[in-house]
């Protein structure tokens, strides 16, 4: 879970330091979560999500530099998310911005993933360091910067073979949808798990505790879906073997059984895929119940 939590602490500390020193420094948003990042077309954050990076106000003229990078370069991680593979796919209107005293600079940004079936179903983490270069009046004051962490979940797509980094696990699809499940009946669907390791490995499968810090800070729920309060409604194996990278994927069957007369209309469950020698992954299970 570490890095998103660390950044919240860092941003709070920077805010406190800025207020203490009279710098009035702010960077927002501190983090972004994209649930269905498009593959094969640009995502304009300002036009489609009303999001830009905002820097300021400050109490002196400052030039800031920012760029996209793999977060491991900044020693940052987040449970369930892997290094963004190609920072050049994320761009800003400018990478150097001059912020005048008491003003706010807004920087548009874009995500442009190429059309490639191997890019669906990924959960990635992107780092954006924002570094000040003091200029002009007041330049001798202490200046502060920030490190932004953006979580990017690419669109789910079944029947594809993902590209996996060495330490990466990818579920195909990354979001397993159960639609119009009838109360009193059961349905089964299967995800296929791939990893970048050369040999097969045994992983445990467990529910993400909704009360854990990871669930509250890092792997957040899908909008419109409440976390399942009845985990017995979902059955899945407690372990799965994922073959080596050249050997294909390992099946993960999921069975949903909805009791009759339930008032719940839809819910989400999140499962963690874990091994002590690997980085944890997750899969989202999204269920819509037929109330006819």
Whether residue 2 has pLDDT greater than 50: no
Let me know how long the chain is.
292
At residue 4, what are phi and psi to the nearest 5 degrees?
A: -60, -40
Residue 121: per-residue pLDDT: 98
Whether residue 36 has pLDDT greater than 70: yes
% of the chain surpassing 90 pLDDT: 76
Residue 94 token pair: 């400018």
Residue 11: per-residue pLDDT: 38
Whether residue 25 has pLDDT greater than 90: no
Q: Using an 8 Å Cβ cutoff, are 238 and 206 in contact?
A: yes
Average of per-residue pLDDT across 119-131: 96
How, if at all, do strands 186-195 and 169-172 pair? antiparallel
Residue 109 token pair: 């940004």
Whether residue 140 has pLDDT greater than 50: no
Query: Residue 45 to residues 42, 48, 51, 59, 185: CA-CA distances in angstroms?
Result: 9, 5, 5, 28, 41
Average of per-residue pLDDT across 205-221: 96
How many Å apart are CA 136 and CA 121, to the nearest integer?
47
Whether residue 288 has pLDDT greater than 90: yes
Confidence of residue 252 (pLDDT cuts 50, 70, 90): very high
Phi/psi zone of residue 227: left (φ > 0), alpha (ψ -120 to 50 degrees), beta?
beta
Confidence of residue 123 (pLDDT cuts 50, 70, 90): very high
DSSP H helical segments within the chain, as ranges? Answer: 2-21, 45-49, 213
Average of per-residue pLDDT across 194-206: 97
* String of DSSP letters for 58-126: -SS-EEEEE--B-GGGGT--BTTBEE-S-GGGEEES-SEEEE-TT--EEE-EEEEB-S-GGGTT-EEEE
Confidence of residue 37 (pLDDT cuts 50, 70, 90): very high
Whether residue 84 has pLDDT greater than 80: yes
Confidence of residue 115 (pLDDT cuts 50, 70, 90): very high
- The full set of domains in the chain, from first to last, is 2-154 (2.60.40.10), 169-289 (2.60.40.10)
282 vs 30 pLDDT, higher one: 282
Q: Using an 8 Å Cβ cutoff, are 239 and 273 in contact?
A: no
**Chain centroid, CA 78 distance in Å:** 8
Count other C-beta atoms under 10 Å from residue 37's C-beta: 19
Whether residue 216 has pLDDT greater than 90: yes
Answering whether pTM is above 0.85, one says yes
């Amino acid at each position: 879970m570490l890095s998103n939590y660390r950044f919240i602490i860092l941003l709070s500390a920077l805010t406190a330091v800025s207020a203490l020193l009279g710098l009035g420094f702010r960077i927002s948003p501190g983090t972004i979560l994209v649930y269905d990042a498009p593959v094969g077309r640009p995502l304009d954050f300002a036009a489609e999500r009303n999001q830009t990076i905002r820097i300021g106000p400050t109490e002196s003229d400052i030039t800031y530099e920012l760029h996209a990078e793999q977060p491991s370069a900044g020693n940052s991680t987040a449970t369930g998310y892997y290094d963004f593979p190609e920072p050049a796919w994320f761009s800003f209107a400018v990478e150097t911005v001059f912020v005048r005293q008491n003003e706010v600079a807004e920087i548009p940004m874009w995500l442009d993933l190429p059309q490639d079936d191997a890019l669906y179903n990924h959960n990635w983490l992107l780092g954006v360091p924002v570094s000040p270069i003091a200029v002009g009046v007041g330049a001798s004051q202490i200046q502060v910067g920030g490190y932004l962490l953006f979580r990017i979940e690419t669109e789910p797509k079944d029947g594809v073979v993902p590209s996996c980094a060495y330490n990466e696990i990818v579920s195909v699809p990354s979001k397993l949808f159960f639609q119009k499940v009838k109360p009193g009946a059961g349905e089964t669907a299967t995800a296929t798990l791939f990893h970048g390791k050369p040999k097969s490995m045994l992983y445990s499968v467990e529910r993400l505790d909704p009360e854990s810090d990871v669930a509250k800070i890092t792997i957040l729920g899908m909008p419109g879906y409440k976390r399942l309060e009845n985990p017995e409604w979902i059955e899945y194996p407690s372990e799965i073997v994922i073959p080596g990278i050249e050997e294909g994927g390992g099946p993960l069957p999921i069975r949903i059984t909805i009791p009759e007369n339930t008032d719940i209309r839809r819910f989400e469950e999140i499962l963690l895929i874990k091994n002590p020698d690997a980085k944890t992954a997750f899969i989202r299970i999204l269920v819509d119940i037929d109330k006819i």
